Structure 1
Amino acid sequence: MSETFNTDEKVKRLVEKAFNESLDNYTVDILNATKIGENYMGSVHNVKIKRNDKEEDDIKFHLFAKMAPHEGCHRNTSPIRAMYECEIHSYENIFPELVKFQKDKNVAIFQPFAKSYASSLEMGAEALLMDDMKMKNFKLIDHRAKLDLQHATLIMREIGKFHALSFAIRDQRPELFKYLENNCRDIFYSNDKMSSTLHKAVTNIGTAIVKSYDTSSRNAKEVESLQNFIKNLPSVLNSVLSLDNAGKYAVINHGDLEIRNILFRYNDAAEPHIPTDLCLLDWQLTRLGSPALDILFFIFICTEKELRDNHYNRLIVEYYESLATFLRQLGSDPQILFPYEILLEHLKKLSAFGLYNAIWIVSLNMREICDVPDTSTIKNEDLYVQSLSVVPKRGYVERVRDIISDLIKYDYDF
């Protein structure tokens, strides 16, 4: 850590801002909250606050501080500031309006995000202070383990409800939707340095996967499709992210639906392993786009072939039925705003987004701990590309080839 950057001091200033009082009468304990490979775009810390005149275990608040990386090299290779601006905008401007809209409609409040207490846009020290949802019995699960149907189903249902809010607001409060979409344009893939880095890494890994196939004719379709995908990467990504593809069906996307960004709660004592609630973290890539983008991102990064073979269609139906049910509760007609046939059309024409992200993100997720890059030490784009171009030794190539096989089976255009 830089000698001139004091994380504890930055966090304490954020706490003072949140509660508008001095910390002279409080003890603030700040502990690192993540392990290697759990967070690439910052550092996160557990923050415990208690009064000095109270008993040792009388904690006033359990909070969670998320701090932007301050190292110049890392900030020069990723759109760090824009990502924190995006997340802060989500917590301070988007989420309160989503909650208020639901209250006005007198429905049970759907709120799959933590409460935010304070934020900072100080250059080089961007940060958020939020509820520590783990103290409310939410848990992370192993992002390297196989995802089961129960967890996948809950995620699909909750994504559907989240997207339904955008459709309802666009339908009933167009001026509010216009306000919400401000600062909801893509800031990650459209960033020149980030897109250049990702294109090179995806090309490197994709080329290695092409070489992994044998020369038998039974693999010809997969090889040809992957080669064409790699050859046309920039135009492919620009096309799928174009708002022209979403049109009147554009909604606010989470943008980064990885398992590492989802907390689960298990409130059914009779079935303690089945999740009942979730909380979504890391809203740094929130953007306007087709609902299919969130679905494709989640399914092809987080599920494996066995689950898709048995339940892919069911998961899509679960998503849509959840979206449609919530839309009706909010007072809008899903058949008018987002017909099921349009969802299937978008999944087909935007499927390249799922493959693109699976190639580099699944690579990160399946690495041995010793191979997880320390992003704070990256000095330039070439090293960044190198850090993202590792092909994990166990199971990775087969997993991506399974994705390619499934995309062809579903007749998806990638």
Structure 2
Amino acid sequence: MVSDSEITHLVKTSLENDEHLREIIVNIPRHSKVEGCIGEIIFVNANGIAENNERKYFELAVKYLRYDRKRIESAIYSTVIEFNMYNRVLPSLQMFLSENGLINELYFIPKQYECIVSNIENVIIMENLKYTGYKLHDKKKNMNMCHIKMVIQKYAKLHAVSFAFRKQKPELFQELTKVLVEKDTMKHAVIYCTEMRESTLNNLDTALKIFKENGDEGLHHLLRTAVPKHPCDVLWDILNTEEMKTALCHGDSWNNNYLFKYKKDDCTKPIGVKIIDWQLSGIRSPVCDLSYFLYSCGSQEELEKFDEILEFYYETFSSFLLKLGNNPQDLFTFADLKGHWKSYGLYGVISCLNSLKVQLSDQVPIASNCGDGSERIAIFDLPVSDMSLFYSRLKSVVSHYFSVIN
């Protein structure tokens, strides 16, 4: 566990460099350290005197991972990916947008103060979103259409700007995303992370079993046919499909990676969203983000409006591309989008086997540090408190996927 003195030093250094503060005071409240999936998250508050001699105040979240021989390689890959996203890729996209007269279009990404990566540790210091009015959506409840459309809109803009950036600056795009390709966390995890492979297989077996127990022989057969081998090997095949029409994807599209802001106490209509945790980012089909998100966060009610959601996504995507000076018909058509769902939608189905288990469990997912060649992340195969709800959500996902591809 990282010490208070280490955190204090990191925060002071960050605010000195980024905000040009002096006489910095850092306070780490009791019980402010939280064990995350692959490291610690420490919430701190700090203040210091700015260049205009006024004291500025900050509420910060510090994500900290110290490497050692017990840290699984997939976890280390993920921190390198997130470091590159916050330190290079996302700032470059924002600069590209500014060059095209589009300001604050990536406002859904949290403000980041410092990224530190070395041979022994990885540190990311960012704004504590809870102090600016953002909060998590109840993970056990499906998101309504207001939430769904808000997230879909942000993904559409992220995907569109990556298409435009690659079209207009292909060499720079390739250089910026080189690390995302070479250290693709998901590709590594689906093959080498023992716990992910075990959990995903167990969750597939649970899905097949629950369909059979409830008399859904048709869904049982369809899912078994679509995933005839280990589900992680199917994910590997999807991730390694040669595809020219790809985008920069967030990659971790489950409930707890979105924080929403509301007007007063009306939690049905968000007025803002922040997308967090960019460790699984990669260059993939946009449908990898979309299917993972919709299948993890939507219920049958939302999935019945699939055509409306897809049209809303593409309208946002295409209009944003036009603002950036590109013709969407040359880069990614609506027909391409629908075709991609048939080719890559299974990524979302398999991913939600894990995410639904986590979302519908009362337990908190925690990573385990295992050495001696054993790589385990005990975060997916959690007990579900309401199996009838799990069955209902799962049935709507599988039914929807096969209705689309057939």
TM-score tier after normalising by the smaller chain length: 0.7 to 0.9
2:366 and 2:262 mapped to 1: Cα distance? 33
1:265 and 1:209 mapped to 2: Cα distance? 34
Match of 2:151 among 149, 155, 164: 155
Match of 2:360 among 366, 386, 392: 366
Query: What percentage of residue pairs aligned between the two structures are identical?
Result: 21
Deviations 1:122-147 (A, max 9, x none): 34431101122333333322222221
Residue in structure 2 matched with residue 138 of structure 1 by the alignment: 134
Instruction: Give the residue type in structure 2 aligned to 1:178.
Output: Q
Structure 1 residue matching 2:216: 3-state secondary structure: helix
Contact 2:287 / 2:344 at 8 angstroms: preserved in 1?
yes
Structure 2 residue matching 1:350: 3-state secondary structure: helix
Structure 2 residue matching 1:191: 3-state secondary structure: helix
Contact 1:18 / 1:117 at 8 angstroms: preserved in 2?
yes
1:51-90 correspondence runs (5 A): 51=48, 60-68=57-65, 73=70, 75-76=71-72, 79-90=74-85
In the superposition, the TM-score normalised over structure 2's length comes to 0.87
1:200-219 correspondence runs (5 A): 200-214=198-212, 219=216
1:400 aligns with 2:378: no
Residue in structure 1 matched with residue 272 of structure 2 by the alignment: 277
Q: Return closer, same or farther for 1:10/1:393 CA change in 2, 3 Å cut-off.
A: same
Residue in structure 2 matched with residue 48 of structure 1 by the alignment: 45
Deviation at 1:391, TM superposition (A): 4.6
Deviations 1:151-171 (A, max 9, x none): 101111111011110111122
Instruction: Give the residue type in structure 2 aligned to 1:145.
Output: K
1:322 aligns with 2:316: yes
1:259 and 1:366 mapped to 2: Cα distance? 11
Match of 1:174 among 164, 170, 175: 170
RMSD: 3.1
2:370 and 2:290 mapped to 1: Cα distance? 31
Match of 1:289 among 284, 289, 296: 284
Residue in structure 2 matched with residue 352 of structure 1 by the alignment: 346
Structure 1 residue matching 2:180: 3-state secondary structure: coil
2:265 and 2:129 mapped to 1: Cα distance? 23
Deviation at 1:402, TM superposition (A): 2.4
Which region of structure 1 is more displaced relative to structure 2, 13-22 or 295-304?
13-22
2:176 and 2:151 mapped to 1: Cα distance? 23
Instruction: Give the residue type in structure 1 aligned to 2:197.
Output: H
Structure 2 residue matching 1:231: 3-state secondary structure: coil
Match of 2:14 among 18, 21, 24: 18
Residue in structure 1 matched with residue 197 of structure 2 by the alignment: 199
Instruction: Give the residue type in structure 2 aligned to 1:239.
Output: D
Contact 1:188 / 1:195 at 8 angstroms: preserved in 2?
no
Deviation at 1:85, TM superposition (A): 1.0
Contact 2:238 / 2:347 at 8 angstroms: preserved in 1?
yes
Instruction: Give the residue type in structure 1 aligned to 2:380.
Output: L
2:390 and 2:224 mapped to 1: Cα distance? 18
Which region of structure 1 is more displaced relative to structure 2, 313-322 or 401-410?
401-410
1:127 and 1:199 mapped to 2: Cα distance? 28
Deviation at 1:334, TM superposition (A): 0.8
Which region of structure 1 is more displaced relative to structure 2, 382-391 or 148-157?
382-391
Structure 1 residue matching 2:126: 3-state secondary structure: strand
Q: Return closer, same or farther for 1:278/1:381 CA change in 2, 3 Å cut-off.
A: farther
1:387 and 1:60 mapped to 2: Cα distance? 35
Which region of structure 1 is more displaced relative to structure 2, 350-359 or 19-28?
19-28
Unaligned runs of 5+ in 1: 53-57
Residue in structure 2 matched with residue 55 of structure 1 by the alignment: none
Q: Return closer, same or farther for 1:60/1:326 CA change in 2, 3 Å cut-off.
A: same
1:216-235 correspondence runs (5 A): 219-228=216-225, 229=227, 231-235=229-233
Structure 2 residue matching 1:183: 3-state secondary structure: helix
Q: Return closer, same or farther for 1:170/1:316 CA change in 2, 3 Å cut-off.
A: same
1:167 and 1:361 mapped to 2: Cα distance? 28
In the superposition, the TM-score normalised over structure 1's length comes to 0.85
Deviations 1:219-263 (A, max 9, x none): 33311222231525344212211251x31x111111112221112
2:335 and 2:209 mapped to 1: Cα distance? 37
How many residues in Structure 1 have an aligned counterpart in Structure 2?
Answer: 394
Deviations 1:246-285 (A, max 9, x none): 31x1111111122211122335x79774222222111111
Residue in structure 1 matched with residue 187 of structure 2 by the alignment: 190
Deviation at 1:10, TM superposition (A): 2.7
1:41 and 1:213 mapped to 2: Cα distance? 33
